[in-house]
Chains A and B, each alone.
Chain A
Amino acid sequence: MTAPAIELKGISKSFGPVQANKDIAIRVMPGTIHGIIGENGAGKSTLMSILYGFYKADKGEIFIRGERTEIPDSQAAIRAGIGMVFQHFKLVQNFTVLENIVLGAEDGALLKGSLSKARTLLKQLSEEYELHVDPDAKIEDLGVGMQQRVEILKALYRRADILILDEPTGVLTPAEADHLFRILEGLKREGKTIILITHKLREIMETTDTVSVMRRGEMTATVKTAETTPQELAELMVGREVLLRVDKQAATPGETVLNVENLQVVDGSGVERLRGISLNVKRGEILGICGVAGNGQSELLEVLGGMRPGKGRVTVNGQELDLTGAESDARTRRRRGIAHVPEDRQEEGLIMDFFAWENVAFGYHDDARYQRGVMMNNDAIREDAEAKIAKFDVRPANCWLKAKNFSGGNQQKIVIARELERNPDLLLVGQPTRGVDIGAIEFIHEQIVALRDAGKAVLLVSVELDEILSLSDRIAVIFDGRIMGERLPSETDERELGLLMAGITDTDKDHSVDEIEENLAHATGKAG
């Protein structure tokens, strides 16, 4: 029997009182794709960071190809043949592909030799594995899918035969993801070992040979993918049965709440982010906006939420909003009955160094009921915070804890509690479940649907197609600052939405992956 490519024994790691990894054991056989799945915060990334030398384990041993190996830093990991593709690419934007690949692995002070060597190798690799990239293109001109390939090539150039990919499809369209998995299959055939970290069950089911499930820092199971089901994996991840689809009644839309006509946004550096968007959301309806990140959906939420100026005509309940003047701020928007769950809760939705109770008043801190004369009525805020924390099951239920000390899901619950409990006419919600564990996802989805059922309008922006498909009553696809089309969730599928997200409207035709990617690179190059 061959030795496993990687074997971890008894790996434990804690950060202060938080045990991120607890007695982890795992064996990955060479030439296989091994999935590691778990909720956010389950300890997947910590484990991989230990393997890549970013953290040192408190306890435990690492064996590479049967040999005990110490990995004190990433240089040692590279020497041991481990390559890592991070979720956030580590590329120099204004360098060419070739320069990025060679960076840090140059043969000497003069670049010429390494560059021509890399060029030959790159040609060979791209033929072997379908990893086509123009070696002389600048990174900033490439789409995310291409950039990811450069990351993979970087690892291969450093002779990695064990490749770790951390949430590789987070930024990809379905078509790009499919291409990525074909590349991984090719690498596997050549005998490379691949570890795929993800929280998406579908990817695990489609691509891996074996899968390990992590929950709360522990490895709860390792199973052969062929012998398991998504339902079983989900249960192992969460520790109980979960609904993978949102339970909701058909929508009964009423009169229009939000009406947007020809909305345009130009950002600080003069780039057009929205190029004339028109849409409407009715009472009792969820309109989902899907698109690849960076195509204008963030700007749409920000301009509606009063965070940036825009041009065009926007009405809420028939009254026109001021898009540029003194009344265009977020405070006025809230008074108009617009609540906003922002895409980035850590940078925008919460003050991480404020206590939970202070955050419950955030944005509504000038509310009359929070005032006592010229002072703020902190008692009233705390009372309100405690009620909201109880109602939305924020854990731990301690309003004297700072926002940064809650998990992602509970941070999001604080934001959701604050915004939803205002009973707004219109809810703007961006990436409601990004970085949120499955248990909390269910809860948050239920709350959004409940708001809809109470006759409110919801504008949902998400890069998760699953979320868009299961929550929305209507779907609008955004691409390069324009709405490419609207679809009903019952009459569309991921394939069609994926093509629209890539800017292709004649979705009945067959399109090559390269054509889609070219389109996308164009869009993301401009937008990002």
Chain B
Amino acid sequence: MDKLPKWADVALIPLINLILALIVSGLVVALIGQDPFEALAIMVNGAVGSTYGWGYTLFYATNFIFTGLAVAIAFHARLFNIGGEGQAQLGSLGVALVCLMVPWPHWLIALPVAILGGGLFGAAWAAIPAYLQATRGSHIVITTIMFNFIASALLVYLLVSALKAPGMAPESARFVEGSHLPTAREVLGAIGIDFARTPMNVSFIVALLACWGLWLLLWRTRLGYEIRAFGHSDKAAVYAGINPVRITMITMLISGALAGLMAINAVMGEQERLLQDNVLGAGFVGIAVALMGRSHPVGVFIAAVLFGALYQGGAELEFETSIPREMIVVIQALVILFTGALDGMVRSPLEKAFLRFRRQPDKPGVPAE
């Protein structure tokens, strides 16, 4: 018997975690002499109170969906890929090369190639740690995080040398006109809906497709079956004739590719040039998103939207109050801490509560088997 009903596992626990995080955040805000309820109102209103808010929220969410899915698929194979940050940076390099090299006539042609470029570069960056893990046993947590630094340094190097545009800033030239992805304002404007000017763009649809695709992969294909089996027990996988090296490699390649896809939203969709730091911690937020979303694509989507709202609301809070930027980072960190890392704190008391609730004193017990 599972200890918790499914709805409690997927909905109640994250909700309690979120509320706890908000309470602690409220205390922190109160401690620095601000009104926590007002702060909350500003955040909620800023995130979802207007099309402007929604646009930014979903723009951030798109980033988090890609990095969240990247962590989620690795989790299914019991691999902890915390290199989403570096893989996304390499992805941005791939996307930028695609968008700089060819004079694209139309975004519909540029986008698939950019997806390929971002995915390939991200996957390649994950391939080395994956290979070391699968054949040499070098722990993937260590190697992927070290690769984040290498990726960052590599990007800086390229932006001050080969890819540098004329001028002072370490950034690439602007992408060609034909690689411009339609924004939500442009798309919705075409059908007569007024939407504020935000960086939200068609990459959001790609992210939704990625969620659906990952769900299909994990629960409807042989590869997904093997990934999940390997993640549950590697001994059993060997018994079933599943090659652990192959599964580790493939899973990490997909994971890296998903992280790399983030660049089509952030780099191709918004910045339209390659900047030095274009990931801005989204790789790490992906870990929290995957944890909160229980590594399920639907959960990842919901968690990503929540974190997107948190980012956008936090930015509004900084803009409208005297709450310093650092405090907003603290609030975001608290949410990550409670929803991601402190899951067990809520889980075990809740399980006990459910056990007590279920035990009907006069109901005859099911015999122990």
Q: A-side interface residues toward B, CB under 8 Å?
A: 14-22, 41-43, 46, 216-217, 305-307, 329-334, 340, 342, 344, 347-354, 358, 361-363, 365-366, 371, 374-376, 378, 402, 405, 407, 409-410, 437
Task: Say how far B77's CB is from chain A's closest CB, in angstroms.
Answer: 13
| Closest Cβ neighbor of A363 among chain B residues | B240
- B235: A residues at CB distance < 8 A: 344, 347-348
Point out which of B1, B226, B241, B366 has the most chain A C-beta atoms below 10 A from its C-beta: B241
- B7: A residues at CB distance < 8 A: none
Residue from the list B220, B226, B365 in contact with A365, Cβ < 8 A: B226
| Closest Cβ neighbor of A14 among chain B residues | B365
B365, A19: Cβ atoms closer than 8 Å:
yes
A330, B369: Cβ atoms closer than 8 Å:
no
State in angstroms the CA–CA spacing of A407 and B238 once bound together.
24
User: Using a CB-CB cutoff of 8 Å, which residues 323-364 of chain B contact chain A?
Assistant: 355, 358-359
Point out which of B222, B229, B239 has the most chain A C-beta atoms below 10 A from its C-beta: B239
Asked if B243 is at the interface of the complex by the 8 Å CB criterion, the answer is: yes
- A402: B residues at CB distance < 8 A: 2
Instruction: List 30 interface pairs A-B (beta carbons < 8 Å), by A numbering.
Output: A16-B355, A16-B358, A18-B366, A18-B367, A18-B368, A19-B366, A41-B369, A42-B368, A216-B367, A216-B369, A306-B241, A329-B241, A330-B241, A347-B235, A348-B235, A348-B236, A350-B236, A351-B232, A351-B233, A351-B236, A352-B233, A354-B232, A362-B229, A362-B240, A363-B241, A365-B240, A371-B222, A375-B221, A407-B369, A410-B369
Asked if B225 is at the interface of the complex by the 8 Å CB criterion, the answer is: yes
A348, B239: Cβ atoms closer than 8 Å:
yes
Asked if B3 is at the interface of the complex by the 8 Å CB criterion, the answer is: yes
- A330: B residues at CB distance < 8 A: 238-241
Other 15 A-B pairs with CB < 8 A, given A348-B233, A407-B369 = A14-B365, A19-B365, A20-B368, A22-B365, A216-B368, A216-B369, A306-B241, A330-B239, A354-B228, A361-B225, A362-B229, A365-B222, A371-B222, A376-B221, A437-B369
Task: Say how far A37's CB is from chain B's closest CB, in angstroms.
Answer: 15
Task: Say how far A373's CB is from chain B's closest CB, in angstroms.
Answer: 10
A17, B2: Cβ atoms closer than 8 Å:
no
User: Using a CB-CB cutoff of 8 Å, which residues 119-135 of chain B contact chain A?
Assistant: none
B243, A329: Cβ atoms closer than 8 Å:
yes
Task: Say how far B225's CB is from chain A's closest CB, in angstroms.
Answer: 5
B221, A374: Cβ atoms closer than 8 Å:
yes
Point out which of A14, A21, A43 has the most chain B C-beta atoms below 10 A from its C-beta: A14
State in angstroms the CA–CA spacing of A305 and B242 once bound together.
13
A16, B359: Cβ atoms closer than 8 Å:
yes
Beyond A366-B222, A375-B220, A375-B221, whether A17 also contacts B366 by CB under 8 A is yes
- A378: B residues at CB distance < 8 A: 220
Interface string of B215-255 (1 = CB under 8 A from A): 01000111001101100110110111111000000000000
Interface string of B148-188 (1 = CB under 8 A from A): 00000000000000000000000000000000000000000
Task: Say how far A159's CB is from chain B's closest CB, in angstroms.
Answer: 33
- B226: A residues at CB distance < 8 A: 365
State in angstroms the CA–CA spacing of A21 and B240 once bound together.
37
Q: B-side interface residues toward A, CB under 8 Å?
A: 1-3, 216, 220-222, 225-226, 228-229, 232-233, 235-236, 238-243, 355, 358-359, 365-369
| Closest Cβ neighbor of B241 among chain A residues | A331
Beyond A348-B235, A365-B226, whether A19 also contacts B221 by CB under 8 A is no
- A361: B residues at CB distance < 8 A: 225
Task: Say how far A399's CB is from chain B's closest CB, in angstroms.
Answer: 16
Closest 7 CB pairs of A and B: A19-B365, A331-B241, A216-B367, A330-B241, A407-B369, A363-B240, A348-B239
- B240: A residues at CB distance < 8 A: 330-331, 362-363, 365
Task: Say how far A147's CB is from chain B's closest CB, in angstroms.
Answer: 25
Residue from the list A217, A334, A342 in contact with B365, Cβ < 8 A: A217
State in angstroms the CA–CA spacing of A14 and B241 once bound together.
39
B1, A405: Cβ atoms closer than 8 Å:
yes
A405, B2: Cβ atoms closer than 8 Å:
yes
State in angstroms the CA–CA spacing of A41 and B369 once bound together.
5
State in angstroms the CA–CA spacing of A366 and B226 once bound together.
10
A352, B2: Cβ atoms closer than 8 Å:
no
Task: Say how far A43's CB is from chain B's closest CB, in angstroms.
Answer: 5
B236, A217: Cβ atoms closer than 8 Å:
no
- A334: B residues at CB distance < 8 A: 241
| Closest Cβ neighbor of A402 among chain B residues | B2
State in angstroms the CA–CA spacing of A410 and B369 once bound together.
9
- A333: B residues at CB distance < 8 A: 241
A16, B228: Cβ atoms closer than 8 Å:
no
A376, B225: Cβ atoms closer than 8 Å:
yes
State in angstroms the CA–CA spacing of A366 and B229 once bound together.
13
A41, B368: Cβ atoms closer than 8 Å:
yes
A358, B225: Cβ atoms closer than 8 Å:
yes
- B216: A residues at CB distance < 8 A: 375
B368, A17: Cβ atoms closer than 8 Å:
no
| Closest Cβ neighbor of A333 among chain B residues | B241
B236, A347: Cβ atoms closer than 8 Å:
yes
State in angstroms the CA–CA spacing of A42 and B367 once bound together.
8
Task: Say how far A132's CB is from chain B's closest CB, in angstroms.
Answer: 38
A352, B368: Cβ atoms closer than 8 Å:
no
State in angstroms the CA–CA spacing of A331 and B222 once bound together.
14
Task: Say how far A309's CB is from chain B's closest CB, in angstroms.
Answer: 11
State in angstroms the CA–CA spacing of A443 and B114 once bound together.
60
State in angstroms the CA–CA spacing of A16 and B351 once bound together.
10
State in angstroms the CA–CA spacing of A349 and B229 once bound together.
11
State in angstroms the CA–CA spacing of A410 and B221 once bound together.
27
State in angstroms the CA–CA spacing of A340 and B239 once bound together.
9
B241, A342: Cβ atoms closer than 8 Å:
no
State in angstroms the CA–CA spacing of A191 and B240 once bound together.
53
| Closest Cβ neighbor of B224 among chain A residues | A376
A349, B1: Cβ atoms closer than 8 Å:
no
- A19: B residues at CB distance < 8 A: 365-368
- A353: B residues at CB distance < 8 A: 232
State in angstroms the CA–CA spacing of A144 and B1 once bound together.
35
State in angstroms the CA–CA spacing of A347 and B366 once bound together.
26
- A15: B residues at CB distance < 8 A: 355
Task: Say how far B135's CB is from chain A's closest CB, in angstroms.
Answer: 14
- A216: B residues at CB distance < 8 A: 367-369
A376, B239: Cβ atoms closer than 8 Å:
no
Residue from the list B239, B366, B367 in contact with A307, Cβ < 8 A: B239
| Closest Cβ neighbor of A364 among chain B residues | B240
State in angstroms the CA–CA spacing of A130 and B90 once bound together.
70
- A410: B residues at CB distance < 8 A: 369
- B1: A residues at CB distance < 8 A: 16-18, 405
Task: Say how far A199's CB is from chain B's closest CB, in angstroms.
Answer: 14
Point out which of B240, B358, B365, B368 has the most chain A C-beta atoms below 10 A from its C-beta: B368
- A21: B residues at CB distance < 8 A: 368
Task: Say how far A486's CB is from chain B's closest CB, in angstroms.
Answer: 28
B359, A17: Cβ atoms closer than 8 Å:
yes
State in angstroms the CA–CA spacing of A353 and B366 once bound together.
22
State in angstroms the CA–CA spacing of A306 and B225 once bound together.
20
State in angstroms the CA–CA spacing of A46 and B368 once bound together.
10
State in angstroms the CA–CA spacing of A365 and B221 once bound together.
10
State in angstroms the CA–CA spacing of A354 and B2 once bound together.
13
Task: Say how far A505's CB is from chain B's closest CB, in angstroms.
Answer: 34
- B359: A residues at CB distance < 8 A: 14, 16-17
Residue from the list B221, B229, B355 in contact with A354, Cβ < 8 A: B229
Beyond A330-B241, A354-B228, A358-B225, whether A349 also contacts B365 by CB under 8 A is no
- A332: B residues at CB distance < 8 A: 241
- B365: A residues at CB distance < 8 A: 14, 17-19, 22, 217
- B239: A residues at CB distance < 8 A: 305, 307, 330, 340, 342, 348-349, 363
- B367: A residues at CB distance < 8 A: 18-19, 216-217
- A43: B residues at CB distance < 8 A: 368
A376, B368: Cβ atoms closer than 8 Å:
no
| Closest Cβ neighbor of B225 among chain A residues | A365
| Closest Cβ neighbor of A342 among chain B residues | B239
- B3: A residues at CB distance < 8 A: 16
